[in-house]
Amino acid sequence: MAEVKDLIIIGAGPAGITAAVYAARKKMDFTVISRDIGGQAAWSGDIENYTGYQFISGPDLAIKFKEHMEKYEFDLKEGGEVLKVEQEGKNFKVKTSKDEELVAKTLVIASGKRSRLLNIPGEVKFKNRGVTYCATCDGPIFQGKTVAVIGGGNSALDAVLQMIKIAEKVYLININEALGGDAVMIEKVMSSDKAEVLNKTKMLEIMGDKFVKGIRVDQAGKIREIPLQGIFVEIGLLPNSNIIDFVKKNKNDEIMINCSAETSVPGVFAAGDVTDVPEKQIIVAAGDGAKATLAAFKYLVKL
């Protein structure tokens, strides 16, 4: 029979790492399971709104998070993924991609989100051959080249701001009539002579042979082909909530929580971008990670 932990934390982005720090300080017996450390924070470019740092890059902030977490001794399972969470009496069983089964009295689900796909011809064919979903990870590959960023929100704007430092030219392909996101970021993009914003423009096809050579778009009713070598897809994210099917979710498949990070099932807590909290911000995710562990600790005390 598997050892029953106090807590299992699923995910190690800002929410999961903060949850782990609080669990360690509460001397809880817990395990963290995550494919990687840092989550979406590690994909971000320049961060100027995280308290305590007037300016820090996403990868550097992720390193700070990891260093803080590693000051404590606990069971960290990195490199695998959670496939399914099941109820087992009053406890919860977690099955992983490494054929492990772990059991705990409480859970904090901080599994974050994954990139939404364009679902157009050429996307799958040219993935990792010019099509990417992370400017921070893959931007340097496109030094001096022409690229397109697909999207119109903060993630797309962040990708453009990263790529104008690297690429020769950056097209921002936005399906809506105007850009969304923060006014400061929009202003920076619009003021760059390297960036060209195409509003009311729909992606139709990604073209190439071995690698991406261009895109076909519908720009306000006019079909246009644009030669380029790289495409960064930033059209939103989908919650990694399919691992659990017995908690309430909203129409976007996000796990619903209250102000204490409690889900609809006692003993199951959630934090970060996988939840229905509307503000998808690093600092919000970190705060909710703290609340989730504190609520889990109170739940265990009552048990």
Positions marked catalytic: 134, 137-138
Residue 63, Cβ density class (10 Å: 0-12 exposed, 13-18 middle, ≥19 buried): middle
- The DSSP-derived string for 176-199 is SSS--S-HHHHHHHHT-TTEEEE-
Residue 267, Cβ density class (10 Å: 0-12 exposed, 13-18 middle, ≥19 buried): buried
DSSP strand pairing (4-10 vs 146-150) = unpaired
Name which of 197, 173, 202 is nearest 186 in CA terms.
197
* Helix/strand/coil for 266: coil
CA atoms within 13 A on the CB side of 101: 8
Percent of residues in the chain assigned helix, strand, coil, to nearest 5: 25, 35, 40
What CA–CA distance (Å, rounded) separates 203 from 213? 14
End-to-end CA distance of the chain: 21
DSSP strand pairing (4-10 vs 30-34) = parallel
Name which of 49, 45, 48 is nearest 58 in CA terms.
45
What CA–CA distance (Å, rounded) separates 71 from 156? 34
